[in-house]
């Protein structure tokens, strides 16, 4: 039965509204819900939509926006977080997994271009499912989480070359040499990167100067579709152009605004893409080739698990951690659907093989959360100890005494750390944000990955030997929790905390902080200094006014801090002395 495009879109959205909540209740990812919903309304399900051409055209935009977002995330700052050893692990995973799968496919007598595309598609893992699971389990900042993130980021980097490979494989049977296609592909990519480096930032600066949010969103869509059209005209895929556009914009100051503008379009079109993939799952193929599907599923999971386990052990992971990494990334990923769909469309992979592999990837993705949890349980059973990074902290800080423990290495904590380093005062910095830790390490600061609100973290950082603890976290609730834990377990510590504003001083003092400093206070005073100077107010009048304001603010902070938290002859006297001095 043929319906209008609008009615078909209505059916797709209705299926998504029903299928995705069911998937969530079953603790499955939204992608699985979209695939199941698409299958149910497709020609091999209930047959509500029998012709996929119109929907597939719209769904292609989902692939375009998916690749654009992947490229947008590949900034140098994020790639720097990986680290050389983990980057090598990610690269080796792709190459060795592809080589192992390629060997099996060649034994099955598949043509080399076809085998390369299939091996590349199956070598990738699901970024969407794995990162969400790790984030929910608060595992992103552990050694295991950083290894998984590194592998997934390297797979994202491989997206561009893989798209060129798919295009070249599709031209293998034509008069054009595949090697010429590859060279043309890389030449087009280089040209786009060169043009984008010099033109795109200027374009977005001009659009931003007009201060029109709608025009900014339109400009973003224009760039995505223009880059996609250019690569399509050049004989490459639209998705590759979108990926390049994302990479070009990743280093600009407009990256975060672009992400916010594109997110709604990406979500809608991407759901259409996965629903379209679900519609293409042929129940007859699943029934007739059930044995082949099970064999390929077992082959995929076995090969990738074995490769990842061996590589992780070579990188000196403990056995349990290596098993966990291997199981977590053994399944296929959403980009396999993109590669297989493009390959089937241009003839790089026979349609019947692509139809058989799509359910293999979908089933493996559905198993991903189970495999992650299984790996976690195995690691806990083999190594029932504290997390790796805690042992590293304890080992590297062995013998430290009378030090300052700084919890949080954001804009406040890192300034304090630099001051402590200048004065040669011993200190440790803890942070659960990978990017902040990477920045601190790059500055030569002793910053460690760790959750600064856990008792075991305090033990690893030798807090019982510390003199002062500074809680410089940006989250007010986490700051209060950390201050309370420190005061409970280490009553001897002097605890200074970063307050969100002046009203936050009271709660922090009640939880045990000796002093709480509002983060907005000094910023406001410094800003006032510059503004008043620009208004031609004499500098001595500015200094006097700021001193007066600071004195009044100190009195107010002392009133807000509960007297029960002030130590006799301690904080109150210190505060009075500062007040007199001011």
State how far the Cα of 62 lies from the Cα of 69, in Å rounded to an integer.
11
Residues 177 and 34 in one domain: yes
**Residues in CB range of 393: below 8 A, 6 or more apart:** 428, 430, 448, 450, 457, 460, 461
pLDDT tens-place string over residues 334-347 = 788 878 888 888 88
Residues 481 and 524 in one domain: no
pLDDT tens-place string over residues 211-259 = 888 888 888 888 888 888 877 776 666 777 887 888 788 777 787 788 7
Residues 495 and 532 in one domain: no
Residues 263 and 412 in one domain: no
Question: Which pLDDT band holds residue 138 (cuts at 50, 70, 90)?
Answer: low
Residues 407 and 377 in one domain: no
Find the CATH number of the domain harbouring 296. Answer: 1.20.1530.20
Whether 449 is covered by a domain: the verdict is yes
Residues 300 and 351 in one domain: yes
Last residue in a domain, options 470, 499, 528: 499
Residues 249 and 296 in one domain: yes
**CA 543 to mean position of chain CA atoms:** 45
The reported pLDDT for the residue numbered 564 is 38
Residues 434 and 469 in one domain: yes
Residues 362 and 405 in one domain: no
Contact 404, 468 (CB under 8 A): yes
Domain that holds residue 574: 519-582
Whether 484 is covered by a domain: the verdict is yes
Find the CATH number of the domain harbouring 484. Answer: 3.40.50.720
Whether 506 is covered by a domain: the verdict is no
Percent pLDDT > 70 in the chain is: 80
Whether 387 is covered by a domain: the verdict is no
pLDDT tens-place string over residues 287-325 = 888 899 999 999 999 999 999 999 988 887 888 888 989
DSSP characters over 515-577: EEEEHHHHHHHHHHHHHHHHTT--HHHHHHHHHHHHHHHHHHHHHHS-GGGSPTTTHHHHHHH
Q: Would strands 447-449 and 515-518 be described as parallel, antiparallel, or unpaired?
A: unpaired
State how far the Cα of 510 lies from the Cα of 516, in Å rounded to an integer.
11
pLDDT score of 143 more than 60: yes
State how far the Cα of 205 lies from the Cα of 220, in Å rounded to an integer.
12
Residues 361 and 413 in one domain: no
Whether 347 is covered by a domain: the verdict is yes
pLDDT score of 451 more than 60: yes
Report the half-sphere exposure of 171 (CA within 13 A, side-chain side): 20
The reported pLDDT for the residue numbered 507 is 83
Task: Report pTM.
Answer: 0.57
Whether 389 is covered by a domain: the verdict is no
Domain tally, the chain: 3
Residues 469 and 419 in one domain: yes
Whether 91 is covered by a domain: the verdict is yes
CB atoms within 10 A of CB 462: 18
Residues 562 and 489 in one domain: no
Whether 490 is covered by a domain: the verdict is yes
State how far the Cα of 180 lies from the Cα of 187, in Å rounded to an integer.
10
Report the half-sphere exposure of 197 (CA within 13 A, side-chain side): 6
pLDDT score of 123 more than 90: yes
């Amino acid at each position: 039965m043929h319906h209008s495009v609008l009615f078909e879109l209505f059916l797709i959205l209705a299926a998504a509204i029903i299928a995705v909540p069911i998937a969530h209740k079953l603790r499955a990812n939204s992608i699985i819900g979209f695939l199941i919903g698409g299958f149910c309304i497709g020609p091999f399900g209930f047959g509500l939509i029998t012709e996929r051409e119109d929907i597939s055209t719209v769904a292609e935009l989902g692939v375009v926006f998916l690749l654009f977002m992947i490229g947008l995330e590949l900034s140098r700052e994020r790639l720097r977080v990986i680290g050389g050893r983990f980057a090598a692990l990610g690269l080796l995973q792709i190459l060795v997994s592809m080589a192992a799968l390629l060997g099996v496919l060649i034994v099955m007598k598949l043509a080399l271009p076809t085998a390369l595309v299939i091996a590349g598609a199956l070598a990738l893992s699901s970024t969407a499912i794995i990162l969400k699971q790790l984030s929910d389990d608060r595992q992103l900042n552990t050694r295991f989480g950083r290894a998984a993130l590194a592998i997934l980021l390297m797979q994202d980097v491989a997206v561009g070359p893989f798209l060129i490979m798919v295009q070249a494989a599709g031209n293998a049977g034509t008069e054009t040499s595949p090697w010429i296609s590859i060279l043309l592909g890389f030449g087009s990519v280089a040209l786009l990167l060169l043009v984008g480096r010099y033109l795109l930032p200027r374009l977005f600066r001009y659009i931003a100067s007009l201060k029109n949010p709608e025009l900014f969103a339109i400009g973003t869509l224009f760039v995505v579709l223009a880059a996609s059209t250019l690569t399509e005209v050049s004989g490459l895929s639209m998705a590759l152009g979108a990926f390049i556009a994302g990479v070009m914009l990743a280093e600009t100051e407009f990256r975060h605004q672009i992400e916010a503008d594109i997110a709604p379009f990406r979500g809608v079109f991407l759901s259409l893409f996965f629903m379209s993939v679900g519609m293409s799952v042929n129940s007859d193929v699943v029934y007739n080739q059930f044995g082949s599907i099970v064999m390929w599923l077992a082959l995929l999971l076995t090969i990738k698990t074995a490769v990842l386990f061996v590589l992780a052990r070579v990188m000196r992971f403990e056995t349990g951690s290596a098993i966990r990494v291997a199981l977590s990334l053994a399944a296929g990923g959403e980009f396999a659907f993109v590669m297989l769909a493009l390959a089937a469309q241009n003839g790089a992979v026979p349609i019947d093989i692509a139809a058989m592999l799509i359910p293999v990837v979908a089933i493996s993705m559905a198993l991903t959360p189970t495999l992650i949890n299984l790996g976690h349980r195995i690691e806990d059973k083999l190594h029932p100890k504290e997390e790796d990074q805690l042992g590293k902290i304890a080992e590297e800080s062995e013998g430290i005494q009378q030090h300052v423990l700084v919890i949080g290495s954001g804009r406040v904590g890192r300034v304090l750390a630099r001051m402590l380093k200048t004065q040669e005062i011993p200190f440790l910095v803890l942070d659960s944000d990978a990017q902040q830790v990477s920045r601190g390490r790059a500055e030569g600061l002793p910053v460690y990955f760790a959750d600064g609100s856990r008792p075991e973290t305090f033990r690893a950082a030798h807090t019982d030997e510390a003199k002062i603890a500074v809680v410089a976290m940006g989250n007010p609730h986490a700051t209060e929790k950390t201050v309370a834990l420190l005061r409970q377990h280490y009553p001897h510590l002097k605890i200074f905390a970063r307050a969100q504003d002046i009203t936050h001083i009271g709660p922090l003092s009640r939880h045990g902080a000796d002093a709480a400093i509002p983060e907005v206070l000094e910023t406001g005073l410094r800003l006032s200094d510059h503004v008043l100077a620009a208004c031609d107010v004499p500098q001595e009048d500015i200094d006097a006014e700021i001193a007066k304001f600071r004195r009044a603010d100190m009195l107010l902070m002392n009133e807000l801090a509960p007297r029960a938290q002030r130590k006799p002859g301690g904080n109150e006297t210190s505060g009075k002395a500062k007040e007199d001095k001011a």
